[in-house]
Structure 1
Amino acid sequence: MTAAVLLTGGLTACAGAFNAETDASSPVAPRVQALVDANREYPRWADFPRVTEPVPEPVAIAAQVNTLRVTGGGLAGEVSRIDWQETGDPAVFAAEVQARLNAVTVAPVTAETQAEMEEFIRRTRERGRAPPPVDRRPAQ
């Protein structure tokens, strides 16, 4: 009972915060009060756009949900049939993968060696280095 009384009192105290009043001594008080009074009824339901597309019936939504469930079940069945573990010889598997990789042509930039990349990085850093400061003392 005490908790209910305290909770009700706390909510009543919060409700007072929504009844803000304009400070009459403020120089902008008349303008603020005029804006508040002019927009007191805004927004109205008439200001919201009307729904133009038809709202789907619950039966149609249920049919779409069931379609998704069936599709998801079919996908789960396909995934369960995948052999996720390699049961053969790892060396043979590695050789097959290497053969498939060797069959794909490699872009020239991919074939660059580590030394070529480090040289490119060094040249780029050299270009990005600030020039030496200019001597601004007057010549004597």
Structure 2
Amino acid sequence: MKKNRSILGIDWGSKYIGISYKLSDNETILPIGYMINDASFLFYFGEVLIKYNVEKIIIGYPNNNEKIQESIDNFIKQLDLIVSEDVEIIKQNEDYSTTKAGEIMGNYRKNETTDTIASMEILKEYLDET
């Protein structure tokens, strides 16, 4: 039996990286949680790639913040070191994803949970556009 592939949504942050997913045969977007953005991230993220049989990674990318764009571009270069060639990495407009996540949670204090919800919003936006 062939395992379903999934699409990951990622909200990159300087402290936390929120991650969510959707299986190819299911419409529901589910949270994976967050990972601390430190030197160990790539090691643990490699486990996520295997566990969820990832076919695409959708990364939130702001339209008007060059400093964050540069940080995310560097993050993508790091991902390229561990992601197999058959996994597509796509930049998705993330403007207001954190604000939407704050509205869903009922507060606007940014934290690791907000990053996870924002990753779900980023993935939802991508799926709505495709």
TM-score band w.r.t. shorter chain: under 0.3
TM-score (norm 1): 0.15
Q: Where is the helix percentage greater, Structure 1 or Structure 2? A: 1
Q: Where is the strand percentage greater, Structure 1 or Structure 2? A: 2
The structure number with the bigger radius of gyration is: 1
Query: Higher relative CO (CA 8 A, sep ≥ 6), structure 1 or 2?
Result: 2
TM-score (norm 2): 0.16
